[in-house]
Copies of this chain bind each other. A is one copy, B any other.
Amino acid sequence: MEQEELLRSNFYRYYSEKAMLNDADFEQLLPYFEFKDIPHNQYILRAGEVCKSFLFVEEGLLQFHSLDEKGGEHILQFAPEEWLVSDRSSMYFDEPSLHYIKAIEPSKVVFMHPNFFLEAGKLKYEFSVFTERSLQRSVYFLQRRINSLLAMTAKERYLEFMALYPNLLLRVPQWMIASYLGITPESLSRVRREIAKDSF
């Protein structure tokens, strides 16, 4: 890719701001990342494959999901611009993934080789700190989600979703949000009617 394109990217801006990587660092790291365009509905990872990259979403929107034996799709995570997604455990333990990663908008994605993190950590200590923080934060969000699924009704979970991800409400079809919340599209439709009624 063009040097100039890199400098303009969210990817560059994100890691230079958050983790203090500079031009020279990116130069060094060139072997460990690659920009790719992913068309709408294209899979990046399928169950059974071993996940080989961390994905940074430069543009667009990805989803991370599983399929049950009846073919039902269960969305574990949405990843819009500036989000990282991957199947950490498949990658880390070199085991076949149980999950899928798919572009639900035409997307530009940075594929980061696992060594990207190792090498970037060597270049800047701040990078390791930032990476560690990200991992801790993702544990926090996972726990919070479990707590919501254990303790809240569908309506409460939807209200929480609206508060946490207001930007996704506009971009993601309702049936996908329903899948994320663990309910059917029909139920979500009724929940929304309830909420609309409440606000009078």
Contacts and interface: CB of A to CB of B under 8 A. Distances in A.
A78 to B, nearest CB: 13
Interface stretch (A1-9, A66-74, A166-174): A66-74
A72, A135, A150 — most chain B CB neighbours (10 Å): A150
A179 to B, nearest CB: 8
| Stoichiometry, copies per complex | 2
A88 interface: yes
Interface string A68-103: 100010101000000000001100110000100000
A143 interface: yes
A89 B143 contact: yes
A137 B140 CA distance: 14
Contacts of A93: 136-137, 140
18 contacts: A66-B147, A66-B151, A68-B151, A74-B147, A74-B151, A76-B143, A76-B146, A88-B136, A88-B140, A89-B137, A89-B139, A89-B140, A93-B137, A93-B140, A135-B139, A138-B139, A139-B142, A150-B179
Ranked nearest first, the 4 interchain pairs of A and B with the lowest CB-CB distance are: A89-B140, A142-B142, A149-B149, A74-B150
